[in-house]
Structure 1
Amino acid sequence: MMVILALWGFLNGYTTSRTLKFFGTTDWNFSAIVAAFTLPLFISVTLGFELALAWLARTALRYSFKANLLRIVGWYLLNGSMCYLGAYRGYMQKAVQIPSPVGTVRRPIPAMPYHMSILVVAPVLGFIQFASMYAEFSYLLDSVFRSHMYAMFGFLLMNMIMQVLIVSLLAILQTYVQLCYQNYEWWWRSFAVGAAGALWMAGYALLFLVTKMKVSDFAGDASFIVYIAVFIICYGCAAGAVAVNASYYFVSKIYSSIRKD
């Protein structure tokens, strides 16, 4: 477990450093700080809030405050040091080059039809993502919150790989259609398309809480909501990152084939 945490910490710092360098950041220490503290700080604060609610409700805590504090400190020390190393190694690499020259004059974007609005595209493509993982997500909720036995880890791995492919293909499709309408602002739209599946997951989780969870106290409901919120936000950010990278790879490939005069 420690090796996996260290490996992902290094990759986190390396990827963050290279991404921020692509956007013009010159301080790799800033990249290391962003990589090391953004996600751990969010999770620590959120779970700390859940522990505070459990303490106020006088419910039995799964772990003591001291044990949780030691875990957080250990996580920061290991993850932070590896993120720092990864950020340094990533910043030492050459910056990612834009495949074709970019004009200095900002070209106006034509009006797009209503069905290409992000308020229409994101929910529709997000539903496709959620439909492909509905069964697996339902099994996970039953396993974690209703103490059902879960033994489909191979299927879970296959579903994760399938999700990466589905999110990538949907993002590329959306970006291609958007470029056909001469709209070159694809970065945040790609992220929204990738993260839209998290909204459907949140809706299903609330439905699961109302219909299947037999919780009679406020602390139990709050604990469920906090853990689900952490999972869904992390999934949304991860899926959005996959979508952005897939769209960037697609755009770089099609524009790198343009002849430079």
Structure 2
Amino acid sequence: MRSFSKLLTVLVFASIRLALCGRAYMEGDRVKLYANKVGPFSNPSETYQYYDLPFCRPPDGLEHKLETLGEARTRLISRCATIVVDGNRLIVTPYDLSFRRAQEHAVLCTKNFDKKEVQQFRKAIREDYYFQMYYDDLPIWGFIGKLEKEVVSNSPGDSHLKHYLFTHVHFDIAYNGQRIVEINVSTDPAQVVDLSEGVVSDDSAVPAEFTYSVKWHESDIPYEKRMDKYRRYSFLPQHLEIHWFSIINSCVTVVLLTGFLATILMRVLKNDFIKYTRDDEVLEDMEESGWKNIHSEVFRFPPNKNLFCALVGSGYQLVALSIFIFGLACVGVFYPYNRGGLYTALIVLYALTAGIAGYTAGSYYKQMEGAAWVRNILLTSVVFCGPLFLMFCVNNTVAIVYRSTAALPFGTIVIITLIWALITIPLTILGGIIGKNTRTEFKAPCRTNKYPREIPELPWYRNAIPQMVMAGFLPFSAIYIELYYIFASVWGHKVYTIYSILFIVFLILLVVTAFITVALTYFQLALEDHRWWWRSFMCGGSTGLFIYGYCFYYYLARSDMGGWMQTSFFFGYMACVCLAFFIMLGTIGWRASLLFVRHIYRAIKCE
């Protein structure tokens, strides 16, 4: 055991040293160029293996890269156990990019395309396919061809499309000492093959010579800052100003909202406290009304308390997960174009925080005098994972039908299932047992009647749906500016690296949700409607519904996405994300309302 700990320590320090210092090369050392994927530029989820198109293949066959924990895959125990969570399939290409060895006009290969291969390239050019490669862990991109309109000379009103395939690629690589610090790739629009209809005969082969050139130059960029380029160009300076405008807008919203609510509630509650604490004979003859009149009903436990406690437990877990992810992001763990690291962290941290969900759900379920605690623990384990798993099955099946790299390999699915079965469920059960056996009481300041009283008839705008609309609009208005940049990063090719701003917006979202839910809870109790438990949860979580509504606007008006696979991935996984926001913000709203309700009923004398 001690030798294993020493070995693990050595491996960890070696990995950190490699990440910080990088690999040193001698002149002439071969540095492999890995092809990752190709796909339509407007559909970032629809990706395919690079050699699904008939490019020049290595003469010795395809060689896949075995990646490390910090990359898109996580190497576990054996060579067969890998986690591929972001569609990366790195394959060695035949390009010779040896360290500091320039190439003027090297021939990669000469090919003769048949009819089927020409049709493949035509389709790819029409859909604006791009390719992504990695060189010494630095990402590079380029387009495989271009589409142009050509006007027919004898018929100015007529035109047809010209399909041009790029056949020459130029690599510009910078080095600092013995380490690579930058790489850029460009295609030569003058060196193309015309694959247009009418130019290429369906019966004859189309010859094409693929070439490349390499230029090296020395740079003073430190190795540890070579990723700053991607952070710097992720958003333009004016976009950064928009971020700060979003922060200021959100802060002003919070200040105005909290000030308004604090002023109104303090004044109204002060008058209520004065009225309800008077002990004169006149007050005794008056009929009580308002929120004091339902003091014997307000702490009646909600219906479906099993599901309610499971949702609250999952909400606590998601809040903890978000805080941990933001903490890792703010210290620089997630660098640009390494989404595999973020997805892996989400999977691992969700599994490790399962005990929080189990403990919270079990504790509240016991406080609410629940008896079916086994069912409560099982429901807590699947209340969020269940819909996510079903959506994953649908989308993964679609990706398999499309033969896309977005489909997770069988080994990855097995590993994620084992993590859920061997870590998530046991921790949830352990947390639930601890929460069940903890001696806690609900501590209601008022006794509850045996039979519930009748709720007076309320106007339509006091019902659940109008209240949810009011509760979700203000928090959504505080974050909607930032949503575009988040969507452009997750469902586009932008890079979001300003995690500190995002964390501030997240905190603002929680504060606004808590305040608006408390205000609506007070107005509900003032009308003698004591069904605040589920109402506060639904009002707090309604922001998730607004975010999902924004998905339709972004998909139709702000993006060029299309096709069944991209549509399925976008709306399917965004539904799961919005469900997570609904559960998390609903928990925040309910918890804030619970603290408020306890405070006001503890401050008055209830018989």
Q: What TM-score do you get using the length of structure 2 for normalisation?
A: 0.41
1:66 is matched with 411
Matches within 5 A, 1:224-239: 224-239=570-585
1:76 is matched with 421
- Are residue 38 (structure 1) and residue 378 (structure 2) matched? no
* Farther-moved stretch of structure 1 (62-71 vs 83-92): 62-71
Deviations 1:84-114 (A, max 9, x none): 1111111111232322101224222222233
Change (3 A) 1:114 1:29: closer
Following the alignment from structure 1 to structure 2, what is the Cα–Cα distance between the partners of residues 39 and 76? Answer: 15
Given the alignment, which residue of 520, 538, 542 partners 1:192? 538
* Farther-moved stretch of structure 1 (250-259 vs 173-182): 250-259
* Farther-moved stretch of structure 1 (178-187 vs 93-102): 93-102
Aligned partners of 1:133 and 1:163 also within 8 Å: yes
Alpha-carbon shift at residue 3 of structure 1 (Å):
7.1
2:512 is matched with 166
Change (3 A) 1:7 1:98: farther
2:487 is matched with 141
**Structure 2: which amino acid aligns with 1:21?**
K
Aligned partners of 1:36 and 1:76 also within 8 Å: no
Following the alignment from structure 1 to structure 2, what is the Cα–Cα distance between the partners of residues 239 and 91? Answer: 25
Alpha-carbon shift at residue 6 of structure 1 (Å):
4.9
Following the alignment from structure 2 to structure 1, what is the Cα–Cα distance between the partners of residues 503 and 606? Answer: 43
Aligned partners of 1:59 and 1:219 also within 8 Å: no
Deviations 1:73-94 (A, max 9, x none): 2133211111111111111112
1:47 is matched with 392
4+ aligned runs moved over 3 Å, structure 1: 1-7
Aligned partners of 1:142 and 1:148 also within 8 Å: yes
Flag the structure with higher helix content.
1
Q: Which runs of 5+ in 2 are unaligned?
A: 1-344
Deviations 1:230-261 (A, max 9, x none): 10111112111211111111111212233355
Q: Which runs of 5+ in 1 are unaligned?
A: none
Higher relative contact order at CA 8 Å, sep ≥6: structure 1 or structure 2?
A: 1
- Are residue 26 (structure 1) and residue 360 (structure 2) matched? no
**Structure 1: which amino acid aligns with 2:392?**
L
**Structure 2: which amino acid aligns with 1:59?**
S
**Structure 1: which amino acid aligns with 2:560?**
K
Following the alignment from structure 2 to structure 1, what is the Cα–Cα distance between the partners of residues 558 and 492? Answer: 9
Following the alignment from structure 2 to structure 1, what is the Cα–Cα distance between the partners of residues 545 and 385? Answer: 22
- Are residue 257 (structure 1) and residue 607 (structure 2) matched? no
Aligned partners of 2:358 and 2:380 also within 8 Å: yes
Alpha-carbon shift at residue 167 of structure 1 (Å):
0.9
Say what the alpha-carbon RMSD is for the aligned residues: 1.9
1:17 is matched with 362
Deviations 1:36-93 (A, max 9, x none): 2332222122111110111123333353132123112213321111111111111111
**Structure 1: which amino acid aligns with 2:597?**
V
Q: What TM-score do you get using the length of structure 1 for normalisation?
A: 0.92
Flag the structure with higher strand content.
2
